[in-house]
Amino acid sequence: AQKVTQAQTEISVVEKEDVTLDCVYETRDTTYYLFWYKQPPSGELVFLIRRNSFDEQNEISGRYSWNFQKSTSSFNFTITASQVVDSAVYFCALPTSGTYKYIFGTGTRLKVLA
């Protein structure tokens, strides 16, 4: 069965600290994709990144970076120099094999304190 685990329920950091959000997944597929979404306090779900299983290079976008490691089945998300606007719930998601249904993790609530 496929599964996504976000063990960190809530994280609080002080502004300008770096923070890493963990995502561990289970799948038997040899080819798969992983996604990260952000849900700010306003409630909408915002797509952040898609990564396929063929590409284990780290991805960096501004203060955001993603570390994909197939050996540990992890797709972790790091925010460098966090800001108050980064406060949100972050979800990791894995499409189920053969369908377009996402399995979402339970989310990690990040609070960045000024």
Residues that bind another protein (CB under 8 A): 33, 35, 37, 42-47, 50, 52, 91, 95, 99-102, 104, 106-107
Q: How far is the CB of 35 from another protein (least distance, A)?
A: 6
**Distance of CA 96 to CAs 2, 101, 111, Å?**
7, 6, 30
**60 Cβ neighbours under 8 A, 6+ residues apart:** 66
Nearer to another protein among residue 107 and residue 112 (C-beta): 107
Give all strands (DSSP E) within the chain, no chain letters: 3-5, 10-14, 19-21, 24-26, 33-39, 46-52, 59-61, 64-69, 74-79, 88-95, 102-104, 108-113
> Between residues 7 and 14, which has the closer beta carbon with respect to another protein?
7
Q: Which is nearer to another protein, 43 or 62 (CB)?
A: 43
Q: How far is the CB of 68 from another protein (least distance, A)?
A: 15
* Cβ nearer to another protein, comparing 76 with 107: 107
| Shortest distance, position 9 Cβ to another protein, whole Å | 12
Instruction: Please state the closest distance from residue 26 (CB atom) to another protein, in A.
Output: 17
* Structural contact between residues 11 and 110, judged by C-beta atoms closer than 8 angstroms: yes
